[in-house]
Amino acid sequence: MKKLPRISESEWLVMRVLWSNGALTANEVVKELTGQTKWKPKTVKTLITRLMQKGAVRFKKEGRKYRYYAAVSEVECVGAQRRSFVRRVYGGTMKPMLTAFLEDAELSAEDISELKRILEQKGKE
Amino acid sequence: MKKLPRISESEWLVMRVLWSNGALTANEVVKELTGQTKWKPKTVKTLITRLMQKGAVRFKKEGRKYRYYAAVSEVECVGAQRRSFVRRVYGGTMKPMLTAFLEDAELSAEDISELKRILEQKGKE
DNA sequence: GACATCGGATTACAAATGTAATACTTTATA
DNA sequence: TATAAAGTATTACATTTGTAATCCGATGTC
pLDDT in tens, A28-68: 999 999 989 999 999 999 999 999 999 999 999 887 789 99
Residue A10 above 70 pLDDT?
Answer: yes
Residue B2 pLDDT class (50, 70, 90 cuts): low
Top CATH class of A9-70 equals mainly alpha
Query: Does the structure show a pLDDT above 90 at B101?
Result: no
Q: Chain B: nearest CA to A66, how far in angstroms?
A: 26
Q: What is the ipTM score, two decimals?
A: 0.85
Over pLDDT 90: what percentage of chain B? 59
* Helices (runs of H) and strands (runs of E) counted in chain A: 6, 2
**Burial state string for A69-87 with b = 16 or more CB within 10 A and e = fewer than 16:** ebbbeeeebbebbbeebbe
CA distance B42 to B11: 14
User: Is B119–A112 a contact, with Cβ atoms under 8 angstroms apart?
Assistant: yes
Residue B1 has pLDDT above 70, yes or no: no
Of residues 8 to 67 in chain A, which lie within 7 A of strand D by their beta carbon?
25-27, 42, 45-46, 49, 64-66
| pLDDT the model gives residue A28 | 95
List of residues 6+ apart from A9 with CB closer than 8 A: B88
Contacts with B34 (C-beta within 8 Å, 6 or more apart), sequence order = none
Residue ranges, CATH 1.10.4040, chain A: 74-124
Residues lining strand C at under 7 Å (Cβ) are: A 6, 8-11, 38-40, 42-43, 45-47, 64; B 25-27, 42, 45-46, 49, 64-66
pLDDT score at B26 = 94
CATH fold group of domain B74-124: Penicillinase repressor fold (1.10.4040)
Identify the bridge partners of residue A59 per DSSP, sorted by sequence position. Answer: A68
- How far are the Cα atoms of A29, A115, B75 from residue A107, in angstroms, in the given order? 30, 10, 21
DSSP A7-19: --HHHHHHHHHHH
Q: What percent of chain B has pLDDT over 70?
A: 98
Highest mean pLDDT among A8-12, B110-114, B119-123: A8-12
- Cα angle, residue A66 at apex, residues A24 and A50 outer, rounded to 5°: 80
Name the protein residue, with chain letter, whose CA is nearest the C1' of C17. Answer: A8
A37 residue type, one letter:
T
Please choose, from the candidates A58, A41, A48, A56, the residue with its C-alpha nearest in 3D space to the C-alpha of residue A10: A48
Identify whether the C-beta of residue B104 lies closer than 8 Å to the C-beta of residue B112: no
Instruction: Give residue-wise pLDDT tens across range B13-71.
Output: 999 999 999 899 999 999 999 989 999 999 999 999 999 999 999 999 888 889 999 99
Which helix (H) or strand (E) element contains residue A86? helix A74-90
Report the pLDDT averaged over residues A3-20: 94
pLDDT digits (tens, 9 = 90+) for A69-116: 999 999 999 989 988 998 998 887 788 888 888 888 888 899 999 999
Nearest Cα neighbor of A49 from A13, A11, A76, A5 is A11
Rounded to an integer, the average pLDDT of B65-78 is 94
Give the distance from residue A21's alpha carbon to the nearest chain B alpha carbon, in angstroms. Answer: 14
